[in-house]
Amino acid sequence: MMRKNIYIVTILIFLLSITSISAQTENKEAVTIPLTNPGKDGQLKIGLLYGSISVIAHKGNDVVIETVGPKSSKPVKIKNGMRKIGDTSLEFTVEEFNNEVVVKSKTINKKVDFKIKVPENFSLDLRATNNGNISVEGVDGEMEISNLNGAITLTNIGGSVIADALNKNIVVSFTKGYSKAPMAFTSLNGDLDVTFPSNLAANIKAKTDNGEIYTDYEVKMTRNVKKEENRTSSGVYKVNVDKWVTGTINGGGAELLFKTMNGDIMIKSE
């Protein structure tokens, strides 16, 4: 039977100086998580309530997780003549099973950033809520990325992406190639800026309510207008026309969906 490895990481940050009554330090600590099957594909899952997530590919066969807490200039707490010497605000747990790594932060109301190194062929499930951005660099895999109040930046990646950001921009560059799979990029109040290889073959479906759509690909337009007609209970006749820009690039392929309400859509060729 395969064993699930559970790593409970409690990070205790000591004061750098006991002679000073104030401190300005950046709390950080790194741990290395070995994989069950080194060299094989894996997956990372992490969701944060407060903080940023940064993932970068490295040449190793393990996962390296570093937490970074905010710098503090508050006076050191003193009680009955004793100084506080620890901070458990960076506590988190990691579970690894069959190359699936699940990171859970125990911090509820404090901002903690995670900087994580993974092997290049890794899938990602990253979710952030408040006070943080999500960035990925050099990873080639399936990615599901969601950020409620921050930006999403995916650089030098390959594979496939489903990404949504409620209030910020999404910027993606597929310099390592792309999977011929359906993808979606959506935002409510942000631009979508996505760069694909020049040989992209896909069906494009795009819509922005308060912005423009731009591309440097040769697109064969296939506009479809969806019209809904109905009569309300009060007898009012209502027609709703939902207009998307649709087309094919290089003969077509898997569907790529782009949708934002308040922003521009830019579909670029590298």
Digit-coded pLDDT (tens) for 104-161: 988 777 888 999 999 999 999 999 999 999 999 999 999 999 999 999 999 999 999 9
Task: Grade residue 18 by pLDDT with cuts at 50, 70 and 90.
Answer: very low
Cα–Cα distance, 71 to 83 (Å, whole number): 18
In terms of residue numbers, what domain contains 14? 5-220+255-269
pLDDT given for residue 70 in this prediction: 65
The CA–CA distances, whole Å, from 178 to 45, 57, 200, 204 equal 21, 17, 8, 15
Within a domain: residue 229?
Answer: no
* Token pair 């999977």: residue: 179
Residue 243 belongs to some domain of the structure:
no
pLDDT band at 16 (very low <50, low <70, confident <90, very high): very low
pLDDT for position 128: 96
* pLDDT score recorded for residue 29: 67
- Is residue 132 one of the residues assigned to a domain? yes
Contact status, residue 94 vs residue 6, Cβ threshold 8 Å: yes
d(C-alpha 246, C-alpha 148), whole Å? 27
With 0-12 CB in 10 A as exposed, 13-18 as middle and 19+ as buried, what is 216?
A: exposed
Q: How many separate domains does the chain show?
A: 1
CA distance 209 to 107: 38
Q: Does any domain span residue 174? A: yes
Q: Give the pLDDT band (50/70/90) at residue 12.
A: very low
Query: Is 166 among the domain residues?
Result: yes
- Mean pLDDT for the chain overall: 84
> 26-40, 93-107, 174-188, 230-244 — which one is most confidently predicted on average?
174-188
Does 250 map to a domain?
A: no
User: Is residue 247 included in any domain, yes or no?
Assistant: no
- Residue 228 falls inside a structural domain: no
What DSSP line would sit under 61-94, residue for residue? SEEEEEEEPPP--SBPPEETTEE-----TT-EEE
